[in-house]
Structure 1
Amino acid sequence: MVILHTVIAIMGVVALIIKGKVDPVISLIIGSLYLGLATGVGFTGTIGAITTGFGEIMAEVGLLIGFGVLIGSLLHAMGAFQKMVELLVNDVGGRRLPYALTAAMSTIFPSIYVDVQVVLASPVVRSAGPLIGRRGLPLMAGALGTGIFAGYVFVVPGLAAVSIAGLMGIPLGTWILYGIVLGPLTAIATTLIFRQLLRGRYWKPAADEELADSAELADGAEADGAGPSTTTDETDAPATDHPRTPPLLVCLLPILVPLVMIGGGAFAELFGVTSDAVAFIGDANLALFVGLLGAYLLARRTLGSEGTNNALGTGFHTTGEILLITGIGGSLGAVIAETGLDEILAGLFSADAGAPIVLSILLAWVIAAVLHLAIGSVSVASIAAAGIIAPVLGSIDVAPIAIGLAVASGAMFALQVNSNFFWMFKSLIGLSTQGTLKTLTIVTSIASLISLPLVMVIGLLA
């Protein structure tokens, strides 16, 4: 009965989000309440699990998410990411531009949110596409889509990456070591494969492009994502191109310095160099605070006090719902742990003694992929899947990093029409619905499938 009630709870959450257009925060709480009460956890036990689970995950990732949001908001307001886009256009040859774009989106741009990324980069896709060749527009669109989401799920400080690591108790330094390789590798490989796909008769400009739609957005105006949607992965922010923007390398220091601090701490631990000082410097919370402090000082010098406060206000506004969804993902996991489902799932994960690692990774991937197909939000699917699987990690003989990366891989599978981002992407790039399915949906599917065997290799070696 525990499995049945869990399925009912998850399907209920999905139905509320998709059919009822209920906010994911409310939907996840309703699902957690139902699951706890229906499985005999009890009134007090259910509420206790929800609050305890929320508090525990906030202790893990609350500051990380908040600091990351504020760093991205400040750098965006200073025009740092616009400067990066301009550099790609001016200094990279046409044939290499799709790979440079997807590499940048999957390594540097995860510090800002996916809808802001597409607003910033869509003018590059539209203007550079015709310069690359007859299939330049779909190739650039595919490179943009796969770069955004490969970075979002695999690369710190992407929201999905940080959330999965926190919910599953994976050290952020460990995640960085794997994700910083897996993210861009997946994005570049996907773009290579997609380029080959475009060589045939796959793309039909007359049916797949609607350039008239994007003409209205030629100046980089923001889209409201009109069209069928259920949830939105991110909250947009106004673009700013400030004439006093510091040099690009200086702008990127608030991102690069924290990554070096966290990565250095992880390498030190790997080589047995341990001390309080090393642990302090490599702590992810301290590292991101150092990045935030650097971004704040740069913003004060570039934007002044009022502009900095406005950028911080945008970041604070964005942080609220993100933290609630993430925290309630922890609540759902805590309720699941109280039901005893963790023991049942542990049995499923280890059912085949012949290939437990491969099957465990595949099962984690499938759970995340199904949730994404149903809900339409990469972040909500990542958080929900991590919350479901986290209670069983201690019971299976697979490295947690491999299971976490499998969740990340599955959560970006086949982004399609029930995602608000899908419609924003369509309008900003200038594609038909069919063309968006043939670019964004296909490249996220390819990226998910390409990364899965790579995660399996990590699981076998880790």
Structure 2
Amino acid sequence: MPGWYTLTVVAAVILAVVVAIVRLRINPVIALAVGAAAIGILTGLGPLDTVSTMTQGFGEVMMDAGLLIAWGVLIGAMLNEMGAVTRLVEALMRVFGRRGIPFALGLSLATYLQTIFVDVMIVIAAPLARRIAARLGPAGTGIIGVTFAVSLEVGIVMMVPGFAAVALAGVVGVPLGEMLLGGFAVVVPTVALSILLMSMFFRLGFWNPERDQQAATTEDVPHGGALLTGVGGLPRDTDAPAPAPLVTLAPTASTALAASATRERPLLLLFAPMLVALLLIAAQAVLAVLQVEVAPMQFLGSPVIALLLAVILTGAVARAAVGRERVEKAVVKGFHDGGQIFVLTGVGGSLAAVIAQGDLGDVLQGSFQATPFAPLLVVWAMAAVLHIAVGSVTLSAITAAGIIAPVASTMGLDPLLVALAAGAGALFCVHVTSNTFWLLQSFLGQTVRGALKTVTLGVSLASVIALGMTLVLSFVLG
């Protein structure tokens, strides 16, 4: 078929998927699956081959990412039940002090704390964050707000074990160890620079306490009829007049009890299994780059085994800390929250597989001959536009990567760079269609005007910086 026809079909179907999600409030999993089927049929793949390709694509991605997402869900659920995050924030404040806490907290949220869902993280850390903000001066609420917004959103899509980063790695076919190292190289400077620049702007007068922060806390999460998102930025259908509050600012009995139960246990012990797992994965990735084969490390450094060990050891610590019954309840809750992530990841693989069967690669390759940066810029822009329209960081990143990933090798483009560029683009313009926006606005005591500065502007700045860091990484990778 003519190249222009294939390109038109893919563009039209993606646009239809966006309209279906935003206007018709159709679940994104269903919309993406129908879109993948439509592309297959309309580009001449045929009914039977379309179905088999979708199934194969779903299975291949879940084979790579399914268990890893499951292990992350379990670890995050158990850490939350033990009250580990609350204690960590308190410890960071004691160690790094007033000036250093935004950077220490931001880098922690963006890296090793990514096993815990964003919504849960905001809720359990918000009371402590507001106390920290009061010690940072008149712009404290803005500084803490942008710290949370940037670190949580950047970590989701670019840093293993963030579930969207794991999903992206599966969609584009990047080894998880490689995604961990590449993501770390981009995430750390992105988070640090974003917090530094926004803090400077706020202290120079861009933050107005009288207009940008609330005098009193509100517990409801307003939405004004806008499309909200569920756990981790996944769209959620909300036709009801107003949702019940997701959580309350006061710590739950479970969280308070967990903190009390674990007070006598070293904080490092609670996080040690996950940290050791990440170190094993990173070490094996380095050995692979150096082409050094160490059989025990090839086994223990495999992401599936490393994170499985972390699950087992975290479970042992959690059972000793809070008891078997509470651990089991936390695990069930974690799987409930993560269910849609599993399916969305697999359907993203289906979309990528169907597109890979067509001649879109030849079309795009001919369009991107001018500069090696062009494909990365297109991935970034595609993810940014999708996010502005849909309001889901995860969905927009997976969709953009899924479109470009099948043709990346024909253009000589490293799949890691595709994943990072898609993640960076998906961060652009987090606004009122995002549940994270309203959670940060409400629980950190910001007005909507303040949240537009910390969340929308702050994360958009991080999106541009992350793109720049990805382009720098492309030079390093040659």
Residue in 1 aligned with 2:237? Answer: none
The Cα of 1:270 is off from its aligned counterpart by: 2.2
CA distance 1:288–1:192, shift in 2 (3 Å):
same
The aligned amino acid for 2:15 is M
User: Mapping of 1:6-405 within 5 angstroms?
Assistant: 6-212=10-216, 214=217, 216-217=218-219, 226-227=223-224, 228-234=226-232, 240-241=255-256, 242=258, 243-245=260-262, 246-348=265-367, 350-352=368-370, 355-356=371-372, 358-405=373-420
The aligned amino acid for 1:187 is V
2:470 aligned with 1:455: yes
In structure 1, C-alpha distance between the alignment counterparts of 2:476 and 2:401, rounded to whole Å? 22
Residue in 2 aligned with 1:220? Answer: none
- How many equivalent pairs are there? 451
The aligned amino acid for 2:302 is D
For the aligned residue pairs, the C-alpha RMSD in angstroms reads 1.8
SS at the partner of 1:83?
Answer: helix
Residue in 2 aligned with 1:443? Answer: 458
Post-superposition Cα deviations, 1:197-245, rounded to whole Å, max 9, x if no partner, equal: 1133422333322232x2x44xxxxx65644224334398976231222
In structure 1, C-alpha distance between the alignment counterparts of 2:324 and 2:400, rounded to whole Å? 41
8 A contact 2:138–2:209 mirrored in 1: no
The aligned amino acid for 1:34 is A
Q: Point out where structure 1 has 5 or more consecutive residues left out of the alignment.
A: 218-222
Identity across matched positions, percent: 36
The Cα of 1:116 is off from its aligned counterpart by: 1.1
In structure 1, C-alpha distance between the alignment counterparts of 2:229 and 2:366, rounded to whole Å? 33
Q: Choose from 408, 421, 427 the match for 2:423.
A: 408
The aligned amino acid for 1:392 is V
CA distance 1:224–1:406, shift in 2 (3 Å):
same
Post-superposition Cα deviations, 1:324-359, rounded to whole Å, max 9, x if no partner, equal: 0000000111111123222222333x321xx22x22
The aligned amino acid for 1:244 is A
In structure 2, C-alpha distance between the alignment counterparts of 1:316 and 1:450, rounded to whole Å? 33
> TM-score by structure 1 length?
0.93
8 A contact 1:67–1:292 mirrored in 2: yes
8 A contact 2:158–2:423 mirrored in 1: yes
In structure 2, C-alpha distance between the alignment counterparts of 1:149 and 1:346, rounded to whole Å? 31
Q: Point out where structure 2 has 5 or more consecutive residues left out of the alignment.
A: 235-245
> TM-score by structure 2 length?
0.90
8 A contact 2:9–2:39 mirrored in 1: yes
In structure 2, C-alpha distance between the alignment counterparts of 1:225 and 1:393, rounded to whole Å? 41
The aligned amino acid for 1:20 is L
8 A contact 1:416–1:440 mirrored in 2: yes
In structure 2, C-alpha distance between the alignment counterparts of 1:160 and 1:61, rounded to whole Å? 10
In structure 1, C-alpha distance between the alignment counterparts of 2:202 and 2:137, rounded to whole Å? 11
SS at the partner of 1:119?
Answer: helix
